[in-house]
Amino acid sequence: RITKSVLLPLSDRVDVLPSDENFSWSKENYSKLQRTIDVWSFVLSLRAKLFLIDAKWSYVGGFSEEKKISRRRSIAVWVKETILQLGPTFIKLGQLFSTRSDLFPAEFVEELAKLQDRVPAFSPEKAELMIENELDTPMQVLFSEFERQPLAAASLGQVHRAVLRNGEQVVVKIQRPGLKELFDIDLSNLKFIAEYFQKDEMLGGPLRDWVGIYDECATVLYREIDYINEGRNADKFRRDFRNIKWVKVPKVYWDFTSRKVITLEYLPGIKINDLAALDAGSYKRSLIASRAIEAYLIQILKTGFFHADPHPGNLAVDVDGSLIYYDFGMMGEIKSFTKEKLLELFYAVYEEDASKVIQGLVDLGALVPTGDMGPVKKTIQFFLKNLTSQRPDQATTFTAIGEDLFAIAVDQPFRFPSTFTFVLRAFSTLEGIGYILDPKFSFAKIAAPYAQTRDATVAMPMRVQHIEKFMQQLEDGDIKLRVRVLEAERAARKSSVLQTTTMNLVAAATLVNVGVTLSTQGLQDFAIASFLGAGK
């Protein structure tokens, strides 16, 4: 068995918890019944602790807001530690929920975020046995060298450096033993838990789609433990950026890959937020920040296939200043319609247009229209005003958007789909990286070329849509023209003018629409005639 430990310099090693041996879920004889008891014990204990937060009689020495906050914080710490004890499924869920301030109090979100780097490793013996079983080949045949200490450990697996027999340096990602079986047990229990939460008013009840959240999480988790799927994601991502030289993606070695083991090209780089190393190498930090955002805009607005977890551990800088992406287990896809609506929403925020923001959220499925949208509009207006007054230079805009939208979701009919939250989380993370790299970082400047492209393509159709929408609102009575009684006669005269103008607007809008369509089909002469007709 290859057990060399000479590949990785001490300075390159990362701190991981030494072993998962002390955790009950890592035992091979862990029973389904015991696991079910452990999971439900956690849920029911959490339910009781949450109940006591608002039970004023339960506070020794009397109730106070300070004591309430302290209790909530201590419960959040308990949740984090219990999740770590419960293992991979719950660690991953905790990471997914670490940005969902629309679902959990701020103290819980803060503690869940700490799960990102506190994950225990499993033994090298287990890693090597998994590789041999999955690839059906002895270690000494596969590799000339294998680094026993993991390069990194995550909730679902860990990474080791190795050298193939042909001398190529690679990294081998190995799934935690027994993970699929553990997922099956846990997700079976979590489905019942989601249904229980759905009926519990204290846990959000009808205001939170817990069953829908469960379905999304289950899909994400099962996809992420399929390393064949991850390899395909990496290949697709590389193809999307094949013409952009400053983005690099590790090559997949398919002959050394299975559903539980994936072997990738070793592409070392400087962690994107390691300022000391970047400065020592004389890298231009502002360029790196700009590229990180531009690469993501390409993913969201052009290819529609995006990295859903771009934290600093998954982004590095190569010697030539290129960006290196790692870990393609969690990816998102955006349809053309959603791409357009996301762009409209982001710029509606910049324009401080509450109506456009609301419509964007409705179009994205993040807001459920109700009979009276007045309270929602007031909330959005307050959010936009607060955003502008606190950040006149629009710094940390997307971070603020995510936090504030999630915060107001508690009392409003918001339903944030997973794609929406993944995009906001990604932009928020990258924006934070941008400001760390460059204090003068401006998302708006980087995004401007994409906005100009959007304006050129959709400005005219949008104007036509606004005219048509205005006319429909007039017909439906959503817009009312009010006049004073003393001016009734003048209003009557104006109404005939308004009617004539309205008919002209409709005719003009129709001709413009026809002109745009003809123009896009290459019929320029007919298009010009339509535009001239609209002008008359």
How many angstroms separate the Cα of 373 from the Cα of each of 237, 247, 378, 413, 417? 40, 44, 9, 10, 20
Task: Find the radius of gyration of the CA atoms of the chain.
Answer: 28
d(CA 457, CA 527): 16
479-483 contact pairs (CB < 8 A, 24+): none
Q: Residue 429 burial (CB < 10 Å; 0-12/13-18/19+)?
A: buried
* CB proximity list for 524: less than 8 A, separation 6 or greater: 518
Going through 9-105 in order, the beta strands assigned E by DSSP cover none
Single-letter amino acid, residue 4: K
Single-letter amino acid, residue 259: R
d(CA 424, CA 403): 9
Cβ distance 321 to 313 under 8 Å? no
Helices 179-199/210-224 angle, 10° precision? 170
Residue 521: helix, strand or coil by DSSP? Answer: coil
d(CA 20, CA 421): 31
Nearest Cα to Cα of residue 20 among 189, 182, 259: 182
What is the CA 376 to chain-centroid distance, rounded? Answer: 24
Single-letter amino acid, residue 476: D
Cβ distance 318 to 324 under 8 Å? yes
Q: HSE-up of 165 (CA within 13 Å, CB side)?
A: 7
What are phi and psi for residue 283, nearest 5 degrees?
A: -80, 150
What letter does residue 255 receive in the DSSP assignment? Answer: G
Catalytic-residue membership of 320: no
* Helices (H), ranges, 370-442: 374-390, 397-408, 418-437
Q: Which entry of 38, 309, 327, 404 is annotated as an active-site residue?
A: 309
Cβ count near 184 (within 10 Å):
12
Nearest Cα to Cα of residue 113 among 436, 429, 434, 366: 429
Helices 88-97/210-224 angle, 10° precision? 120
Q: Taking CA 25 as the corner, what is the angle to CA 20 and CA 28, rounded to the nearest 5 degrees?
A: 95
d(CA 408, CA 379): 7
How many angstroms separate the Cα of 57 from the Cα of each of 45, 47, 50, 68, 105? 19, 17, 14, 12, 22
d(CA 291, CA 425): 18
Catalytic residues: 309
